[in-house]
């Protein structure tokens, strides 16, 4: 087992001196990342504390807040209308920080099923839903979803009836997108927390549905 350096206590950088076990073998890009971070800290462009806080913020985001917004919208039609108008402002009403990049929610209905992609890079509402899954950023998803959405949805186990429009949203500009899924039947007696538990990340991307009935 290796020993830590003697100047451990005043080590100004936020990361451990040894590579994290989860990082895998050391690569030039890992070295470059730490070198860039350290230079920027040396130059006081940001501090080690800033770095720590930002990492905590990244870790704090998951689909749960998006799920809570959806559940709240299902229970409160006025909130839903405001959410469809401006997700970021509506989020603030219920103490959720969705960040400053504008997010547009598109609503699934009995006539339209929506699904999101960024064909040009990997834009995703990460300040609300957390970091995206690998497949969302993959070549296969980015290439095929706009061209054969129903085939891609089928790979996720989702089949949309032919009389329902499938609408693909490609995030090409400033807006990020999320799906407001349809509330499933048989949930009339559920409270907000229980409803939120039904809402998955994948149904807020649009590759799955909870149910369409």
Partner 1 sequence: MSARFTVGDRVRVRQAYPPGHVRTPYYVRGKEGVVSRMIAEHPNPEERAYGRDGLPPVPVYRILFRQNDLWQDYQGPKGDTTELDIQEHWLGPLEEEGG
Partner 2 sequence: MRRHHDMGGLDAGPVDPAEHDYTPWEKRVDAISRLLAGKERRLLTSDEHRRAMEDLGPGAYDELSYYERWISGITNILIEKGVISVEELGGKMEVVKARWQEAQE
Binding status of residue 8 toward partner 2 by CB under 8 A = no
Q: CB-wise, 55 or 81, nearer to partner 2? A: 55
| Buried/exposed code over 61-74 (b: 16+ C-beta within 10 A; e: otherwise) | bebbbbbbbbbbbb
Active site residue 203: no
Run of H or E residues at 115: strand 112-117
Q: CB-wise, 125 or 196, nearer to partner 1? A: 125
**Shortest approach of partner 2 to residue 159 CB, angstroms?**
16
Token pair listed for 161: 């009836």
Neighbours of 187 (CB within 10 A): 15
Binding status of residue 60 toward partner 2 by CB under 8 A = no
| Buried/exposed code over 79-97 (b: 16+ C-beta within 10 A; e: otherwise) | bbeebeeebbebbeeeebe
Binding status of residue 62 toward partner 2 by CB under 8 A = no
| Site pattern 16..45 for partner 1 (x: CB under 8 A) | ------------------------------
Q: CB-wise, 5 or 147, nearer to partner 1? A: 147
Catalytic residues, which ones?
118, 121-123
């Amino acid at each position: 087992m290796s020993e830590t350096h003697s100047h451990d206590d005043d080590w100004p950088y936020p990361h451990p001196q040894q590579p994290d076990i989860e990082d895998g073998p050391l690569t030039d890009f890992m070295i470059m990342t730490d070198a860039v971070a350290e230079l920027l800290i040396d130059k006081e462009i940001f501090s080690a504390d800033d770095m720590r806080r930002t990492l905590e913020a990244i870790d704090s985001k998951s689909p749960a807040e998006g799920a809570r917004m959806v559940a709240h919208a299902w229970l409160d039609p006025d909130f839903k209308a405001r959410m469809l108008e401006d997700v970021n402002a509506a989020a603030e009403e219920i103490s959720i920080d969705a960040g400053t990049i504008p997010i547009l929610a598109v609503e699934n209905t009995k006539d339209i099923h929506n699904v999101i992609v960024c064909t040009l890079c990997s834009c995703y509402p990460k300040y609300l839903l957390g970091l995206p899954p690998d497949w969302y950023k993959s070549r296969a998803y980015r290439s095929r979803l706009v061209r054969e959405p129903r085939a891609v949805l089928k790979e996720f186990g989702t089949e949309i009836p032919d009389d329902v429009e499938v609408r693909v949203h490609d995030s090409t500009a400033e807006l990020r997108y999320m799906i407001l899924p349809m509330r499933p039947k048989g949930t009339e007696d559920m409270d907000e927390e229980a409803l939120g538990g039904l809402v998955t990340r994948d149904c807020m991307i649009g590759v799955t549905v909870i149910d369409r009935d």
